Structure 1
């Protein structure tokens, strides 16, 4: 480890005074002082598929871009910050573990970051090596050289993945019950494989990492059910995807990884017969508070957030648990696990080390005893079907609820006891002609197009509760809107589809959206109604879930119904054609995708008056499809046509415009038009910089791409000067 207390020259300390004042001011502001500029809360779990984030903080605008590649080679999820306020706000709101790396060697900075619960480790890259005073067990070193820092960072990160990454859920925790219900649903509910969806998401996420892309391509070509356990322990992909899905309880990620968990569960069931009982070990480092919790729950059940890898070698487990250089503030703990002959575990051979013992995901264990000492011991034993029984008993107590709805309820945050007092209670309205909302000028309130528009509903009368739900949705309170919709009886097709659209479009909760639309479809099929709109909603949800085959099927069925209905508007047909185009695109069937997209565009262009936003959106979609098919010329042409339409119809600082400019810049860069690419990316970055905080993935990607293009232009310029 690098030296923490090396001597300093007086002039070196003097030169740092400006940097210290910068951070000191930021600390005052971050603890409560107002700056007049509100920092938007950041939810860093958005679009995150790994459980660890590397944060690179440099208070200078000139970020060390040379460090980004090596950092991402260790852990792909890297966020960069130059503003301390935004950086600290991100850390405080993080549900992931943070490895904090900075170019600023400052006692106050380290002390502040050290106190954040999410921070697991701190690394400082500083050639001047300022003297640090205090006890900071999370600080792994102050490094003079980048190579030295990267070596230590990789070593510490690998150790963390071995001894710290698991999380435990105790029998009384809601997460424990959630895990056992999830396992019960995984085993008993058949679902279609979403392998292509996982591959597509992984490709997009790791698009800049050639090494991981190669692993993804290998997975696509060679994955077999019999190899599922080996793949589940293949790092970084798909191991980190699987662990994050389980730790975060992210429904979309669990859905896309479901086939792997299901294959793994079946593997354990089929290979659960062992010749005799066995004992395995796991070395970890735990906080004193967590070890206290194990002591108070002796005799009760626990489960882990993953496959809980162990070893048959007690010596190896003790070595891991007693590492002196890793977090001396944590306690060394040896887990001893007794496994009976029917336990769901398997042994994976390893050429370079002892065999690995893996248990089924979220498997239940019983705590036998806890012995504290210099090396504390926690004795566990496999608990058979004990976790399953708890889940089944809970299901019996809630016979009218689905497993999914029960799991959702368990993870809901505590709510205020009485939400209605937030708004005054209106006087009793007339039942058939409810009064319009106070701020709506027209006498008959209608749902906004961004919310719901359903032509075929069982009950055409809009109730007072429905109006309340629409108001909540307009105000952005989606949870209250859904709660209000759920209170409406009897349940109608319109209400179910409204809840489905809100869940999908405004919350990204595609599992619940799927349930709502499927229930609406059953009602319509039973009553003989036109199901074309509901099929369209289902197609959109399946597309968002990455289930392209099902998306294609539902949009194709909806299109057929729309085409034989003389009252169908062209907008509905165009919507299905776009859905079909997206599904073919997801299946890499580019010619079919382009053909359907062009049919949709032709319909949109015939409408009077034309909807320029819809036309621009379809042009951009076709541009992306052409780009993926390898035709950059057509891609750039279509996106260039979309640009002025968006500029006329959306605000000039719209995120829609920023995204189009970013994608156009990527296309122009790949075709060698670096001047055009720089202009597009500069415009995109200008919007992102105005609307998004530092460290946001979209802003960071645009900034990095812009720097890359600028560097390429400079290299080309230097080459031309040299040649001349």
Structure 2
């Protein structure tokens, strides 16, 4: 790696671009490199060195530098190995190297590490004896390193960014892993990684990763892998294909000796959600109740899996207009989640969102707004780069504002939601259709009939691509169009 050969360039590119195909191909090399770094790291811990000062000099484009300025006092993690030097003079040479580019800034990173205080899992190593360039006195940080930006000293020719190695990234990772292990129970780390990609909205990457995993998997993992491919396809709006993967996963679990009854609850749960989305509420409710019954048999009453089933039954009842019953189920689910998760966990936001939707449809707009605003704050913190669930919160707040007669403000929220959804669903989606329909309503109430009709028709066209003709959402938009034409 230190030779800066094609391997060095490839590994850095793979980690920087997060190319799933290449990450999967090079996973053994990356794992081996990290293991070697850990062995060398032990030598630093056994030495008498207490404070380590290292430097890195480079050119940064202005946009990247401004992002760092905005995040002073916050954490930063590199998406790759970080090469630094004990020699400030060497780093300065890199930073001040002449260039013809006018859009870059000379930057010197000064990183300080208190070796006695940092977590043992923050790995860095002196690779001087292995390096092709021993005079550089290179210290290489592993993938899991996290830093806090202490200060930025701005000068005309050089910007000096002072950072300290931080334990906070390890704490965040530890909490995530512990919670994920409780949620996924017997699923392997390989599957957890794919789920993380999916949860971040990286649907194509997640699908590609799971497909590769399925090709190389053992029999034990195949059912869960198929279930997770189904989940990704479901979230992409490809319901028929998702159903096929769910059915295959369920069959595989049932054919196992002995049958994997406990695991099957997760698959039944997901099939139920697809049926809900298709408007087949009675059939969906049966699947949700079967999943709940299994979970109640195998788990204590406050298990997070039971909360998931209660949540799904609540969502089903909500879609059927049974708001009081739905609210009871969602409140039960929230109560379990609040015992299981920290207060700002993303799953808490999901329950707040669901309760907010019920209050909205009950006409309790102020209460609904509070719930959705709380959900939005958690989601924006959890997904700083955007996510479809942020769009859902924005859309719900838009509907509340519409019902309060605040049409301009409502449109602003709907536009923000639409912009985000179009990024995550470039080929269209039911949620985009709903977004367009809601914008049409705002324009209709503003007496902008032509614009309203345009949005309704766009919504209907998209609904027709994804929904059966008798689905309530499609029928609602058709009524909106007839009303504008005066054919009610």
Higher-helix-fraction structure: 2
Task: Specify the TM-score bucket, using the shorter chain as the normaliser.
Answer: 0.3 to 0.5
Higher gyration radius (CA): 1
TM-score (norm 1): 0.32
